[in-house]
Amino acid sequence: CTGLIEGAATAGVQIYPNPNQGVFTVETGGKTSVVKIHSSLGALVAEYQVNSGKQVIDLNGQANGVYFVTVSFNDQPVYVSR
């Protein structure tokens, strides 16, 4: 399930595969961005500065469950995925 914040359709953000087994890729259309991963309780699990427009994220060290992925450009969140 994914949810988009206003402006995400033109942001070029892709997260795949979804669902996954703990490893997934975030693509930001070549833009520099910040990707934050939060647990279902709201705790920040990981944060990545993505300079190349593409980041592979491995959450295999985390407990099984639902995590929220937020992608931000210039401190403005544009994409949230669950």
Distance between CA atoms of residues 37 and 44, nearest Å: 6
What pLDDT score was predicted for residue 15?
Answer: 86
Express the helix, strand and coil content of the chain in percent, nearest 5 each.
Answer: 5, 50, 45
What pLDDT score was predicted for residue 9?
Answer: 55
What pLDDT score was predicted for residue 58?
Answer: 95
What pLDDT score was predicted for residue 10?
Answer: 61
What pLDDT score was predicted for residue 1?
Answer: 41
pTM: 0.82
What pLDDT score was predicted for residue 77?
Answer: 80
Taking CB atoms within 8 Å and a gap of at least 24, the contacts of 15-18 are 15/69, 15/79, 15/81, 18/81
Q: How wide is the angle at C-alpha 38 spanned by C-alphas 36 and 52, nearest 5°?
A: 20
Per residue in 26-80, pLDDT (tens digit) is 888 888 899 999 999 999 999 999 998 899 999 999 999 889 888 998 888 886 7
